Every structure is written in structure tokens, then in C-alpha cells.
Amino acid sequence: MDFELWWLLSLPLFFGLGWLAARIDIKHLVHESRSLPRSYLLGLNFLLNEQPDKAIDSFLEAVQIDPQTVELHFALGSLFRRRGELDRAIRIHQSLVDREDLSPEQRLQALAELGEDYLKAGLLDRAENVYLGLRGTARSEAANDALLEIYQQEKNWPRAIEIARDMPRRGSHRWEIDIANFYCEIAATALAHSEFDEAHRQIALALESNRKCVRASLLLGEVLVAQGKDAEAVAAWQEIGLQDPTYLSLVAERLMDAQRRLGQEEKGAQFLRTHLGQTPSLDLLEIVFKWEIEKQGPEAAYALVRDELKRNPTMLGLEKLLEAAIHTVDGERKGDVELVKGLIHGHTRRVARYCCKDCGFKARQFYWRCPACGGWETYPPKRTEEFDLAV
């Protein structure tokens, strides 16, 4: 009984303490809100109402009233950058960098924001200087990402290789693929200037970085052809069949040209037919189909496409079948087949594209680096239709 009476007497005390604590918090909140410039609160209200122009004007007024509001400066800089007013964003963030009262973390943030401003504005040299200064800090990883993008835009492949070697592994991404492509870019430039020894050296470095670098084998074949070494070029291109046979379609026509110069055209066609049977490819079918219809005749080409269509049914394959059929019929039937082929062609134009497996960007031509997301070797050498079938 005594315990229950004590409990009842303590309830008003607990209630009073709670009321007092609430009053203290409310007074603190009111004090803090009154210390803020009115224009700052107006700016927040404009932001909530999706009126960025008025919000910026209010924030600018607040900054003039209280220049010590660091976070407000960051908010203003971000707003300017999103609106494309990069010169104003740069001035905001540069003013923060020049201040001496920032904490170390705030200074790093200001530098990172300034670097992004420069990058967005295309001032790559200034952005590079900022991000180089951020290496070795808490923002080193983001700085390396930005530097890698800068060097790729500038085509400064040696520096890109240097940065990529320092990048940490991220999930399934392999930096070896990127590095091998950087070496291939250098090799392609050397080949364009007929610097064959340098091209060979860079290709060797690419293959050292990634033994399965198809692009390196493709370039090696091109260098050897330029040196008049067709037999060695064919061997280099056939190596792609071991690295990744889906890429053979990219060199099939050049391989056939080299075999033709060697007087071994049938041998080249047999090599491609074998891989077509093992790894279906619409682009590879196109090359073999051309050879069949020119050398073996329409009937052989028709049989080739018919068998391929049974194994890998696609609209693009059907178009090739109709193309072969046109040569095997005459009279009114030929006109009917041509009509159907024309209707099919209108559809196949939409599915005869390459598709990035990372971002889904589609293009009519093959890219080693996706123009949209910047990924290397993210374009499987397959048309959209067969890519969708594989998925």
C-alpha cells in the first residue's frame, strides 16, 4: 500500500519534469530559428514550393547578411551548378576554398565541389589540378574517378593507365579490361602513324594486362596486315576464336580478305562456318552468307541460312533467307518474295542495333567504349534481337 501511494505521488513530479524539458527544447528551437536570417527561411520555403529562382535570390540575401553560413554557401553552389550557372557556382566554391576558418572536412568538400564545377564547365586542366590535390585524402577515391574521366576525355592514356592501376576493385568490375583498352588506344594511334614497333609494344602490354583482350588481337592482325604479313595476321585473328568467339564477326571480313590474298579463301570460309555453328552470330552469318552466294551460289546460301534459322530463329535471319530465296525463284513469285523481304526489312532496322549491357544504350555501330555510360567492352558484338534472345 505504501509503495502504491509513493507511485501516485511521483506521477505529478515526472509530469512536471517532462513539461520543463519540453519548454527548454522549445525555447532553444525558437532561439535558433530567430538567429537565422529571414531570407534563409524564405529560401527554404521557395525550395519546398519548387521555385528555385526565388530561392536563390533569398539565399544570396542571407549570405550577404551572414557570411559565416558555410552550409548555405554549399547549397547555393549546388543550385547554381544544377541550373547550369557554372561561373557563379565556381565563384561560390572558390570563395569557400579561400576562407581560413573552414574545418578540414569542409575544405575538402569545397575543393571537391570546385573540381566538379570545373569538370562540368569543361575546364579540364583546372579540374585536374583540384583533383590531384585531393589524392591521398578522405576524398581520394572520388578524385581518382574524376581524374580517370578527365584523362579519358583528353585521350591522355598513359596517365589514365597510372590512375587505373591505383583504383580499388569494385564488385565484378575488372580494371584490367580498362587498362588493356588504354594500351590499345595508344597502339591504334601508333598504327595510324605507321609506327609498327610501338604498336606491337603497346599490344603486348595490353595482352599482359588482360590475356583475353580481343581488341589487342584484332589490332595485332591489322598491324601485321599493314606490314604485309597476311599469314601472321590470320593467325592473330583466329586467336579471337579462343579468347571470345562472339567477337569473330568484327574481323570476319578482314580475315576473308587476307585469306583471299593468300589463296586460301575456302579455308577461311570453313573456319568461319565452324565458329558460326558453335556460336550463332547474325554479323558472322552476314559474312559467310555473302561468300556462299558469290562462290557457291544461291542454293548453298539458302541452305546455310535455313539451317541457321532453325537453330537461331531471328527476324534478321529470316531477311537473309528471303534474300537468298529471291535468287532461287522467278516470275511472279520473285516479286512476292521481294515484297515480303521489304516488309521484314522495315522491322529489322529497329532490331539491328548493338546494346550496352550496363546502361542499355543502343547504337547502329559497335563501340569499344559505350558513348553513354563510358564502360569499356560493355557492347556485346550481338544485335539487339539476338541479345534479347540470349537474356
Where helices occur in 245-297 by DSSP H, the ranges are 252-261, 265-278, 282-291
The number of residues in the chain equals 391
- Bridge-partner residues for 363, per DSSP? 354
Residues that constitute the known binding site:
356, 359, 370, 373
State how far the alpha carbon of 196 is from the alpha carbons of 24, 75, 191, 221, in Å.
80, 53, 6, 12
Residues that constitute the known binding site for Fe cation:
356, 359, 370, 373
Q: How does 191-216 read in b/e, with b if 16+ C-beta sit within 10 Å?
A: beeeeeebbbebbebbbebbeebbbb
Burial class (CB within 10 angstroms; exposed 0-12, middle 13-18, buried 19+) of 98:
exposed
Greatest C-alpha distance within the chain? 115
Q: What is the DSSP letter of 374?
A: -
Q: What is the DSSP letter of 296?
A: I
